[in-house]
Amino acid sequence: MFVIETGLQSEPYLTKTGGRHHREDWYSAGLGSLSVMHDLRNESERLNEVKGHLEIALLEKHFLQEELRKLREETNVETLKQELEKERSRRLDLEQKMSDVLKTRCEDSPPQPPRKQQPPAANGTDKQQKETVCSRLQSWLYDRFGVYIEDFRFQPEESTVEAEEPLSAKRLTENMRRLKRGARPVTNFLRNLSALSNWHSVYTSAIAFIIYMNAAWHGWAIPLFLFLAILRLSLNYLIARGWRIQWSIVPEVSEPVEPPKEDLTVSEKFQLVLDVAQKAQNLFGKMADVLEKIKNLFMWVQPEITQKLYIALWVAFISSCVLPYKLMGFMIGLYAGIKFFIIDFLFKSCPKLRDKYDTPYIMWNSLPTDPQLKERSNATVSRRLSGCEKIQPVVSRSSLATIPAGVTREEESSRSHSTKKGAFHEIFNLPETERPLPVCENGWRCCLINRDRKMPTDYIRNGMLYVTENYLCFESSSSRSGSSKKNKVIKLEDITDIQKYKVLSVLPGSGMGISVATPSTQKPLVFGAMIHRDEAFETIFTQYMKIMTTTSNPET
């Protein structure tokens, strides 16, 4: 009985302990799965960072391959030069030997005695004498003037194709520095002219004004310029001989020369290439603006501006036909001196006066470039389309059938416009009315390249890009659900420039990036690695133009 009772009492105890152990195992398994999910999320974040490092490493690998190929080509060129020099020396030795052999043969051959000419063959000997005289005369003329005659011989042009150098970060940086050093004398000359016109040194500008006006009054303007050119060359000769002469109205500021670093990191080399490319882009942009304005001036793109130039050319032509050249030169020189020393000084000192009465300045600023003409045409198209947008969209029965019963359309739209980490307006701290456009409900996958940052982890971020009615939103995949520090929100009104961008110029195609410039960033933000780049660009650009037209025309 004792054994049976103990067995009966111990059985429920065993069942209780077994259930407790079962619950503990289930709880530990749930914690383990949560930890695994957390580790997977961390691993995905690390993979995204590794992707950014991999892109930079691929670019660095390409540059190193180009430099290696360039070094190999240079070594081949050196060997070819050495072989060419050897062949030249052999050719000279052979020519010397041939000349020695010919001389020895002429010396060893005995002189032939003159034959007695028979009287019936007198006509033949006369012909031979004439031929010998003519051949001697031709040989003398050829020896005396043959070199000059060879210069006038017509030869077909040889089409030489210049070998293009491969892309190299070091060569690109060195070329930019060479361009800066080569343009320094021109910039210094223009700066001195501007200082003369602005009366930076009152005494120097007054003396120059008096000398120039006196020379223009007596008709010595051209001799004065020629004398100044001779004087400048003489000073340059003395400077080249070692003299220390500084003849500048504005004191020259020596820029600090940074010594080239030998061992650069991958991120530093990548940043160096981007900086040089940006400088080249800005320089080419300024040159293109000037050339496009000149082209549009002569192509009657802005008729009211070209009309003024047309009338001025007719007046100058008629006056050149009627007035004597001495009087024309006097009038042009006098007007140039007054314009340079007095009128330009007044206009630069009084900007409002310049905006009203400086005709060349007004004409030049009002001339459009080709991108400005394209923006104007897009603005007119968007205005025409805005009149057609007043028609309300018709909702189909199939779209109504997809909405469940008891749910309004606003709730359904707010439910669909949510990211993986929460509601859309909560992630980006926006009003509830801001929702992604229908084209980008799920967003465009891309990587944000912020060139203002130096660290590679902050330089490239992977995520999703959204466009709302008023904002451009980037959700970083590495940002946590509770924080939005790594997310980016750009107001469409604040965008100063938007254009298609090619992140890696070494790859073929037009690129997979979009460049967006804002006043808050020194360098434009780039959204790269976008598969649907053209669709995203068209959506952002049309929404941007729509907002700009509504802000510029509030009445519509």
d(CA 245, CA 87): 50
Both 330 and 477 in a single domain?
A: no
| Residue 533 and residue 511 in contact, taking contact as beta carbons nearer than 8 Å | yes
3-class secondary-structure state, position 475: strand
Structure confidence at residue 339 (pLDDT): 92
Both 192 and 279 in a single domain?
A: yes
3-class secondary-structure state, position 486: coil
Both 227 and 360 in a single domain?
A: yes
Determine what percent of the chain is predicted with pLDDT higher than 70.
68
Residue 414 falls inside a structural domain: no
CA 26 to chain centre: 62
Q: In which region does residue 527 sit, left (phi positive, over 0), alpha (psi from -120 to 50) or beta (all else)?
A: beta
Both 189 and 309 in a single domain?
A: yes
Q: Among 366, 383, 405, give the residue marking a domain's end.
A: 366
Which pTM value belongs to this model?
A: 0.46
Number of domains composing the chain: 2
Both 354 and 466 in a single domain?
A: no
d(CA 539, CA 547): 12
CA distances from 310 to 53, 146, 292, 298, 317 (A): 59, 55, 19, 9, 11
Of the candidates 444, 427, 438, the residue with the CA atom closest to the CA atom of residue 528: 444
Return the CATH number at 450: 2.30.29.30
Range 115-148 burial, b when 16+ CB lie within 10 A, else e? eeeeeeeeeeeeeeeeeeeeeeeeeeeeeeeeee
Per-residue tokens: 205: 């500008």
Residue 19 falls inside a structural domain: no
Q: Among 322, 349, 366, give the residue marking a domain's end.
A: 366
pLDDT in tens, 458-507: 567 888 899 998 999 998 876 544 456 678 899 898 898 888 888 776 56
Nearest 10 degrees: CA dihedral of 160, 163, 164, 165?
Answer: -150
Both 362 and 444 in a single domain?
A: no
Residue 282 falls inside a structural domain: yes
d(CA 282, CA 276): 10
pLDDT in tens, 8-30: 344 444 344 455 555 555 555 55
Residue 139 falls inside a structural domain: no
pLDDT in tens, 163-220: 777 777 677 778 888 888 888 888 888 888 888 898 988 999 999 999 999 999 998 9
Sorting pLDDT into bands at 50, 70 and 90, what band is 74?
A: low
Of the candidates 327, 329, 330, the residue with the CA atom closest to the CA atom of residue 217: 330
**Beta strand pairing call for 525-528 and 513-517:** antiparallel
Both 489 and 354 in a single domain?
A: no
* Type of residue numbered 140: W
d(CA 101, CA 104): 5
pLDDT in tens, 250-271: 666 555 555 555 566 666 667 7
Residue 377 falls inside a structural domain: no
| Residue 475 and residue 487 in contact, taking contact as beta carbons nearer than 8 Å | yes
170 or 549, higher pLDDT: 549
414 or 97, higher pLDDT: 97
Residue 354 falls inside a structural domain: yes
Q: Element (H or E) spanning 295, and its range?
A: helix 266-298
Residue 429 per-residue DSSP state: T
Residue 101 falls inside a structural domain: no
Both 344 and 451 in a single domain?
A: no
Q: Among 366, 384, 412, give the residue marking a domain's end.
A: 366
Both 187 and 332 in a single domain?
A: yes
| Residue 66 and residue 168 in contact, taking contact as beta carbons nearer than 8 Å | yes
Structure confidence at residue 126 (pLDDT): 66
276 or 366, higher pLDDT: 366
Three-state SS string over 53-66 comes to HHHHHHHHHHHHHH
Residue 378: CB atoms within 10 A of its CB come to 15
Both 304 and 215 in a single domain?
A: yes
Per-residue tokens: 94: 């052979």
d(CA 484, CA 481): 8
Structure confidence at residue 227 (pLDDT): 93
Angle at 115 between CA 112 and CA 117, to 5 degrees: 160
Mean pLDDT on 380-402: 49
Structure confidence at residue 12 (pLDDT): 42
Q: Look at residue 378 and tell me whether its pLDDT is greater than 70.
A: yes
Domain that holds residue 342: 171-243+274-366
